[in-house]
Amino acid sequence: LNNIAVLTSGGDAPGMNAAVRAVVRTGIYHQLNVYGIMYGYRGMLKNEIFPMESKSVANIIQRGGTILKTARCREFYEYEGRKMAYENLKKHNIDGLVVIGGDGSFNGAQKFSQEFDIPCIGLPGTIDKDIAGTDSTIGFDTAVNTAVEAIDKIRDTADAHDRLFVIEVMGRDAGYIALHSGISTGAEHILMPERKTEVNDIIEELQANERRRKLVNLIVVAEGDETGGAQEVGRIIKERCPQLDTRVSILGHIQRGGAPTCTDRILASRLGYAAVDALLEGIHNVMIGVVNDRIHYTPLDKAVKAKQEIDPEWFKIVKILAS
């Protein structure tokens, strides 16, 4: 192993920079040449590949976004695109690739590593925490903390006006951001794709709450919940409970930005270091995660989107604590 490259792909996530930094500095420590690839697979196709030095990653551990930029790349789905990307890597004699991204990015890396002789390592970077083979993903903790901060602020104004707020958080098809942010802000209800919620039950509870003059209610909805998102939940509540003062708030992309939390910086640093270590050890074509506080390898083809079981006890806790 002499020359490795690193890229970020798919949706950005806070902590990606910390991971890039760890890959670059660990690579240099082991006397490897480290290359950065701009805009994910698109940059591989367009030969936007440049040598990095220790200084290239100075002052980025605390920054959100990704200095390597990111993109979704259609051409990489096709063999011809992947071949062109391979030829560009060969121009730089790259013999190891670290891909920081989500399951879609690993899918690309898996195909690529099968077709060409470039070992690939995947690192899970997504705010959604929807990947098998790791307890968390780079960016999840930061996104949850951002959501918590925003929901706390919403609670202030909800309390001042005796209002009900329906708040939508991100997560694509997964409800972890909703579950974690909802529990830690004391939400009355959490709607998420992993568990069906009957809106009728919510309406009944809201009416019971109203009878006992409990007027401040927070409902956190994961964007992927099958009810149809916060707008739809808010619409139903307004229709069925017109006496309640209901507002809808969609938190949106603020959840993707900002300085990574300590937890995400540590995860990213650990995984970036482990990625180079794995390449040096000859461990190839795996995603590296952390399971029970230990480094865990998952073959790239098994590093897929995962809907984990949510312990039903959590919903009991939500109900009891918000009563």
Cβ–Cβ contacts within 10 Å for residue 160, how many?
9
* Phi and psi angles of residue 34, each rounded to the nearest 5 degrees, phi first: -115, 130
Is 40 annotated to bind a ligand? Reply is: no
Is 24 annotated to bind a ligand? Reply is: yes
CB of 123 to ligand F6P, least distance (A): 15
Exposed (0-12), middle (13-18) or buried (19+): which is 235, by Cβ within 10 Å?
Answer: middle
- Which one, 253 or 294, has the nearer CB to ligand F6P? 253
Is 289 annotated to bind a ligand? Reply is: no
Q: Are 156 and 218 in contact (CB under 8 A)?
A: no
Q: Are 25 and 269 in contact (CB under 8 A)?
A: no
- Which one, 147 or 219, has the nearer CB to ligand F6P? 147
CB of 119 to ligand F6P, least distance (A): 26
Q: Tell me, what DSSP letter sits at residue 319?
A: H
Report d(CA 155, CA 87) in Å as an integer. 54
CB of 255 to ligand F6P, least distance (A): 7
Report d(CA 277, CA 96) in Å as an integer. 11
The footprint of ligand F6P (CB under 6 A) covers 11, 126-128, 170-172, 223, 256
DSSP string, 44-67: HHTT-EEEE-GGGGTT-TT-SS-T
Give the nearest residue (CB) to ligand F6P.
170
Is 247 annotated to bind a ligand? Reply is: yes
- Which one, 222 or 276, has the nearer CB to ligand F6P? 222
- Which one, 11 or 193, has the nearer CB to ligand F6P? 11
Report d(CA 139, CA 222) in Å as an integer. 17
CB of 143 to ligand F6P, least distance (A): 8
Is 147 annotated to bind a ligand? Reply is: no
Show which residues are catalytic.
128
Residues that constitute the known binding site for Mg(2+): 103
Residue numbers in the known binding site for substrate are: 126-128, 163, 170-172, 223, 247, 253-256
Binding site as annotated, residues:
11, 21-25, 72-73, 102-105, 126-128, 155, 163, 170-172, 186-188, 212, 214-216, 223, 247, 253-256
